[in-house]
Structure 1
Amino acid sequence: MNAQWLYRRPSPAARLRLFCLPYAGGGSSIYSRWQGDFPEDIEVCAVELPGRRARLREPPIRRAAALVEAIAEGVAPFLDLPFVFFGHSMGALLAFELARHLRRVGRQGPCALFVSAAAAPHLPRSRKLLWRLGDAEFLSEIRGYGGTPEEVFSEPDLRALFLPVLRADFEVFDTYEFEDDGPLACPLHVYGGRDDERATPGQLRAWGELASHLESVELFPGGHFYLHEQRPALTAAVARELAAFVPGRR
């Protein structure tokens, strides 16, 4: 019943699960090559949000709190092993709020939290609210972000398919309001692109104000979607940190 929330390659040797949350408009396919970058005792679980791939007919969820609660319910059967969260851009916000949600409801939280290409969520926002824009202006703004296949803009059928999901995801982000309920206790690792104007080094370091243990802030060559070009370096960095949390490793 809950399997539609995750794409994973089950491994009998798995001792820890890495849950990966997508950026706005993205799906589980973002992380389709990640499992090959990790040893077999780490199982990569790519989260699939409503409105994508096999869930195409499901309406996307437009508010962060509701989406986080739905994700928590969807992945609950897979929290039987130690686990960590990784999120890129909007996915970083969801990963952060998911960890806080588990704490609020008294459930075991992640061993560590990995956030990527996202300004700390308590910082003031300066950009326009994209989800309220007309289609032409909205798509123009999205194109400026990079990361979205050009076919989405040039092919009407594909554009009609992706536009509702993109709008819903930006509505999640634009309507989000940070509420302070104390720092997270789990270790926090922050990653970003050196040329990312939407998540500057200062905005990345500010995540340290939301966690008791900011372990690292690491920058890679590239912009907001550096995780594609720099995937091997990024997954190697994550794998190094995960080694400390895999039970049974020496």
Structure 2
Amino acid sequence: MFLSPDGLLRIPRPNEEAQVRLICFPPGGADAWIWDSYSTFLPESIELCAIQLPNRGPDLLHYKDRDQIIEAVAQSLLTHARDGQKLVFHGYCVGALWGYEVALYLRERTSVQPDHFIIAGCMAPHERASQVAFMKTPAFIDIMTSFFKPNSAEYNYILSTIPAVKHDAEMLEQEMPPLEKPFTFPLTVFGTEHDQFVADPKNLWAWQGYTANSFRVQLFEGDHFFGLHHPEFLMKLLTECIQAELFPV
């Protein structure tokens, strides 16, 4: 286990020989440790690095401006990067919005860019309003807790994340800088036919304008949590996607 001194990066299975570092941005309110078990379903060639957003726990109220969070995460990624290792960003739910802004920060200030960006269950930044607003409603809490028995450890954890969920929503409601030119990396979007937070899966195609490279949307049966409840399936999808884009036969 590697934990960066600033607390923002968590690598459950460090591997200096891995060709790819998979940067996982968490869904609303979640902590980096939720990705720990996912790393066991990846091949040795892919090293999972989970992002611990700093607006969590007692530090939550210290963050009034989203730019503070973006800069902190981006700088931590730069500080702890490995030479020659390819970077793939993966954002689940609104984690994709955090990933988008970190990629934008890196492009504007450094020569570092992801080699691929894989999104799951998230509206494009310019269409995010309804998805982000829903995070602050009682209906959102009802959905998030409905999968677990009341007073179970999982149920209580979900309840404990609600302040961070609402803070994420408030941060992501702030105006985002427009994308003046598309990114040059490939962009893949995973979605489902019955996503509780993306009303129409056709909306996922709005991400196409964010890249000048290859773009695809892949839809699956199930709901918003298809990957979170089935980690082996999600990691299989990510592995296949990474290998096809970065190491084509």
TM-score, reference length from structure 1: 0.82
* Rounded Cα–Cα distance in structure 1 between residues aligned with 2:163 and 2:131: 21
Q: Aligned pair 1:33/2:37, yes or no?
A: yes
* Rounded Cα–Cα distance in structure 2 between residues aligned with 1:3 and 1:31: 18
Q: Aligned pair 1:92/2:96, yes or no?
A: yes
* Rounded Cα–Cα distance in structure 1 between residues aligned with 2:37 and 2:153: 27
* Rounded Cα–Cα distance in structure 1 between residues aligned with 2:192 and 2:148: 19
* Rounded Cα–Cα distance in structure 2 between residues aligned with 1:98 and 1:67: 9
Q: Paired residue for 1:194?
A: 193
* Rounded Cα–Cα distance in structure 1 between residues aligned with 2:208 and 2:74: 24
* Rounded Cα–Cα distance in structure 1 between residues aligned with 2:237 and 2:104: 24
Distance 1:146 1:187, change over 3 A: farther
Distance 1:216 1:242, change over 3 A: same
Q: Paired residue for 1:69?
A: 71
Distance 1:58 1:148, change over 3 A: farther
Conserved 8 A contact 2:29-2:163: no
Q: Secondary structure at the match of 2:212?
A: strand
Unaligned runs of 5+ in 2: none
Distance 1:226 1:125, change over 3 A: same
Distance 1:127 1:86, change over 3 A: closer
* Rounded Cα–Cα distance in structure 2 between residues aligned with 1:95 and 1:202: 21
Conserved 8 A contact 2:186-2:213: yes
Deviations 1:23-81, CA, capped at 9 Å, x for gaps: 111111331222111111210001111254xxx33235354332211110122223222
Aligned residue type for 1:76 = L
* Rounded Cα–Cα distance in structure 1 between residues aligned with 2:131 and 2:150: 26
C-alpha RMSD over aligned residues: 3.2
Conserved 8 A contact 2:39-2:48: yes
1:152 shift after superposition: 7.8
Distance 1:171 1:27, change over 3 A: same
Q: Secondary structure at the match of 2:24?
A: strand
1:10 shift after superposition: 0.8
Distance 1:127 1:105, change over 3 A: closer
Conserved 8 A contact 1:2-1:75: no
Q: Paired residue for 1:45?
A: 49
* Rounded Cα–Cα distance in structure 1 between residues aligned with 2:141 and 2:235: 26
Q: Aligned pair 1:171/2:170, yes or no?
A: yes
Q: Please point out which of 3, 8, 32 is paired with 1:5.
A: 8
1:242 shift after superposition: 1.5
Percent of paired sites with the same residue? 25
* Rounded Cα–Cα distance in structure 1 between residues aligned with 2:120 and 2:158: 27
Distance 1:127 1:12, change over 3 A: closer
Distance 1:162 1:244, change over 3 A: closer
Aligned residue type for 1:192 = G
Q: Paired residue for 2:80?
A: 78
More moved, 140-149 vs 164-173: 140-149
Q: Paired residue for 1:57?
A: 58
1:189 shift after superposition: 0.6
* Rounded Cα–Cα distance in structure 2 between residues aligned with 1:158 and 1:14: 32
Unaligned runs of 5+ in 1: none
Q: Secondary structure at the match of 2:91?
A: strand
Conserved 8 A contact 2:132-2:169: no
